[in-house]
Structure 1
Amino acid sequence: MTNLETAPAELVCDGRAEARPQTSADTSAADRPGMAAGSPAPAAPEILTPRDVPLGGLRAMTVRRTLPQRKRSFIGAWCFLDHYGPDDVAATGGMHVAPHPHTGLQTVSWLFSGEIEHRDSLGTHALVRPGELNLMTAGRGIAHSEVSTDAVRVLHGVQLWTVLPERDRAADPAFDHYAPPVTPLPDGELRVFLGSLAGSTSPVPTFSPLLGAELTLAAGAVVELDVDAGFEHGLLVDAGALDVEGASIEPGSLVYLSPGRSRLVLRAGPDAPLRAVVLGGLPLGEQIVMWWNFIGSSHDEVAAARARWQSEIGAADADADVAARAVPTFGVVPGYDGPPLPAPTLPGTRLIPRA
């Protein structure tokens, strides 16, 4: 999936550790579940509220974006989180995204309802269905299209990106599909699509340690999940409400939990079943520049990726010198009937990464 904003901002996202002043709440973790006695307690849960982002024209979808935002760029290597639906496709027109490029990331498609047809420049032709993972590795460059099928009446899901560490950003593009088994809980279920949780492990490869799962719980139910204490975690609430460490999270919001927790104690609200997406990963420890569908280490890398894409599709503003010397990077998406998406114009200012 893509970022269809017509005027995307260029963002410098920093995942490097920052010093945090100790407070009285940090002195002991003995009375907090999942934290070792005598060790400094992690920070309190941080609730990130979404902002609405319209994608495209009058009948285009609107998504609720919780990552990235000003106060948080990453959860592990997770760097982008859009939540959409349930949308009546008769009113919204569904999803129809022409071929477009990506670099430096992996896209994770996860649906709660609906069906999306995926095509990419590797020749992949696959369907995204509820409860099944489609993971596309962009690496040095890939192009793909996403179109909701004619059978869809309601479209509902999440679009997630993970950033590739700098050492892997020029990896070969790839595509993986996985239908995780249902892991039963006393009052709910888990589907682990990346990483490991509650005895279930996904075989899908990632470039840094990650966790991704869908959690459902009956109203009022409580679950305790053992997790990697080195991970930072996030839980996006899709339906119902969630209580974690005394914080109440409403639908659409994301709660961030800093490293140091070996167990998560999660309680569904009393009035409705809970559905949430559980994310986690080791802190990335890197800085990136993100613009449109490109991730790089600098403004120049992103600008070069845009120039290569524009030259490959013969866009009106393609640089003749780039076109003359460029080796095809993104390729053509076979089976898609229509022109590719040109890249938006880069912002007029140049972002300089912080030292």
Structure 2
Amino acid sequence: MVELSDLDRSLLRALAAKARGERRAPVRLGLKAEPFWGALLAAGNRELASSFFQPGDSEDAIKKMFAKVPEGTAEFFTLYLTLEPRAGFERLPPVTESVRRLGVKRVVLGSLDPAHRFRGEGKAALEGHGIEVSIADGEEARECQSIVDDYAKSMVRGVAQLSARVKVAELQNGEYDLDISQEALPAGAHPTDAVIRRTGRMADSRGGWMVVLDADGWERPSDRTILYQPEDRAVAGARRLSFEGGRPNLAALLRDLAGLGIYSAELSNDGELFRQALTAGLVDTVIAEFPNAEDPAQAAARVTRVRVASGAPLDLRLEGARFLDTENRRLEARVELN
């Protein structure tokens, strides 16, 4: 297997960054689980075409490229994929067959399939067609794997991945305060399929909770897609949001979301529910901002004990931190309970 060049790594990182901005919530619910992935065709350092597969699409990302590539020229190009292509018939024909028809002679994979029963099959099928296959490692592999983390979790555990945006401040006693944020992230910084949120004007009632598919449409009531709402206030077509102890039953909700083909959700603007989710081990990642830290990565590494809303401190760590912006102020980290 040929090792990746610096150019390969650069193009793969560019594809992963573009993929995070292209991901959308599924347009059809209840379909068989499918991962989101992206493809980029390049000649040297020149990007010729890119496309993305959204769960529920009628064709794969490679077929979307056919019209963009002059016939008979692809053999001189390199195809970059964030995810290993499937080699078998499922809802759509094999993606490996689309790659063969495209005509490339070299493919760079950002990550292998997270589903164990499919892992390695796509790579072997491509090599069987005489295509040279290289697999990313290091930071490039991590970037591509992060795109399908929520899909992989839903396959293994049957629940959607839960994240939250927080501002982190160090307290005088060495503990850290985690304040769940209401601020919007830059487009594509950390895409999620759904947002769990309560509205300010109904903050003291169960009626204030909603689960929406379009976070950007939250302030545009006519545009937003409401997926769950309390039964007594539900709009037409909204599912019933179940409650436990006066707050949404997150464990049940995350299972339901995964069953609908929604693999990720973001919890917003409720510190007490965030605390409950942390205690129950339901929070997978946080998007953390350290406003007063000179080095956010070092600050994240020092976090071992936190305060969230009211109640006793929680013992947890922020692992695998990676920056999400060029200013290195906002990072994503995995939550691990001590």
Tell me the TM-score normalised to structure 1 length: 0.24
- Of structures 1 and 2, the one with the larger relative CO (CA 8 A, separation 6+) is 1
Q: Which has the larger radius of gyration?
A: 2
Larger proportion of helix: 2
Structure in which a larger fraction of residues adopt strand = 1
* TM-score normalised by length of structure 2: 0.24
